Amino acid sequence: MNPPRQHQQYTEQEIALLRRWAGVKTAAEIATMLGRSTRSVGYKLRDLGLSGQLYGEHHWSAKYADLLIAMVLTLYDAGFTPAEIYNTLSRAELDHKAIKNIIHRRKACTRSTCTQA
């Protein structure tokens, strides 16, 4: 017969670490850091109202760094056109279509419930 499982409460330090790394590291990576199971970390993330899904440049399909996207949006907010942004950034990894997609995505997010630009 197996002994009953011991469920250890999360400490304030562990909760702070969960909040810091949620969305940046996977639940498995956070679990390794805390010495807990991936399932436990996943449940605790949900209890805290946090998502374990990676976002921004940490997401597996990210094409551009968060800083580059922030630069595009800042220039656009300052009144630059996509063509001017393209020339200003010296064609840094971005073409005209990518710049327009970044701007369009942010506009779509502000019209819906999306929280990320």
User: Can you give the residue ranges of every domain in the chain?
Assistant: 12-54, 57-111
Of the candidates 103, 104, 24, the one whose C-alpha atom is nearest the C-alpha of residue 62 is 24
Q: What is the pTM of this model?
A: 0.52
Cβ partners under 8 Å of residue 51, min gap 6: 22, 23, 45
Sequential pLDDT tens for the chain (117 residues): 555 556 789 999 999 999 888 878 888 889 999 999 999 999 999 999 887 777 666 666 667 777 787 888 888 889 988 888 888 877 667 777 777 877 777 655 544 445 443
**Cα–Cα dist 84/69, whole Å:** 15
Centre a 10 Å sphere on the Cβ of residue 74 and count the other Cβ atoms it contains: 11
End-to-end CA distance of the chain: 53
Strand partners, 2: none
Q: Is the distance from CB of 60 to CB of 54 less than 8 angstroms?
A: yes
